[in-house]
Copies of this chain bind each other. A is one copy, B any other.
Amino acid sequence: MAKEKCTEISSLGEFALIDRLVKEFENVQPTTLCAEGDDASVSDIGNGKALLLSTDMLLEGVNFDLTYFPLKHLGYKTVTVGVSDILAMNALPERIMLALGVSSKFSVEALEAFYEGVRIACGELGVDLAGGDMAASITGLSVSVTAEGRASKEKITYRSGAKENDLICITGNLGAAYMGLRLLEREKQVLEGMDNPEPQFAGYEYLLEKYLKPRARKDVVESLAEANLVPTSMIDISDGLASDLMQICRSSHCGARIYLDRIPIARQTYALCEEMHFDPVVAALNGGEDHELLFTVPLGLRDRIAEVGGIDVIGHITSESKGAVMVTPDGSEITLKAQGFK
């Protein structure tokens, strides 16, 4: 018998892998509007409205390290991760569901701390917890979150709608969550084995909060609605600016030109990067887990975007042949690279 072919997952990028896995699927439900390739799937619920659904998996040892990630924060962040995908479609989240795989090392009190964080995030966002599943695990904590939201069909913003000359907009700032993670990892190593570890976080509290307890940007989606602005494309920045901007380019068949000195980076991010001899622009481009929103609007809306506040214009959309590039202050161009599947 011939040896079975065995291709390593890492030899394909994440997108190529998923494309290959789903290529033979055919959609048959007339209500399915968008099944693959965006932050959330979209289905028709009549009356001009659509339903958005997204699902995410968070695994202990990969997505979080419980030696420094408090369970209450993990519960909060789980909601942010789920809900951000709905917001990234310019829709408002209404419900989440949780499926947990829990090993016997967890106490009831530990689970209560997790759910307390979930409850706080749900309360802030006005989102209901709509059931879920609890399974035994032999390895650690597995968390799956499903988020559901609604929007008028004409307001839903896909990754595929960016047009040449559109402005590229960013909420908040980038790289802080990644530097929060770096700080936590550094203190874990330094203090390993100590009886009474006293980690040094003074001056970097904002970075820890951005990593451990990021807020979903529901406020931005609401502000855009109040200003009657509908972006042409949008994505949640979870993999880093470079990777997520390239997703927009890939889906919209366009290029992008962003300016290094316009990328919003927080003071604490600069400070810790200096201390750790790390390039803050790399943190912003490839760090990930910012859960800010990246979106595009037509060029003519520059003033109205400025009026909304809290949004930085970092560049513009170009033609597909120009690729995705970053312009440095001295005018040289760097081609952006996605981090891909880790």
Contact = CB atoms under 8 A, between A and B. Distances in A.
B21 A133 contact: no
Contact of A55 (B11, B12, B46, B132): B132
A22 interface: yes
Contacts of A28: 126, 128
Contact of A62 (B12, B43, B135): B135
Contact of A108 (B17, B102, B128): B17
Contacts of A35: 95, 128-131
A32 B130 CA distance: 8
A134 to B, nearest CB: 6
A271 interface: no
A58 B22 CA distance: 20
B342 A136 contact: yes
A109 interface: yes
Counting contact residues on chain A (CB < 8 A from B), the size range is 35 or more
Contact of A146 (B51, B55, B115, B341): B55
Given A28-B128, A47-B47, A57 B135 contact: yes
A20 B98 contact: no
Interface string A35-73: 111101101011101010111111101110000000000
Q: Specify how many copies of this chain sit in the oligomer.
A: 2
Interface string A163-193: 0000000000000000000000000000000
A144 interface: yes
A133 B51 contact: no
Contact of A97 (B4, B53, B100): B53
B148 A6 contact: no
B128 A32 contact: yes
Which of A11, A53, A55, A63 has its CB near the most chain B CB atoms (within 10 A)?
A55
A129 B37 CA distance: 12
Interface string A11-32: 1101001101110111111011
Interface in A92-112: 94-95, 97-102, 104, 106-109, 111-112
Contact of A57 (B24, B49, B99): B99
A29 B97 contact: no
Given A29-B126, A31-B150, A56-B99, 18 more contacts: A8-B108, A9-B107, A22-B129, A24-B119, A25-B129, A32-B130, A35-B128, A35-B131, A45-B49, A55-B132, A55-B146, A56-B133, A57-B100, A57-B101, A59-B135, A61-B139, A62-B137, A63-B135
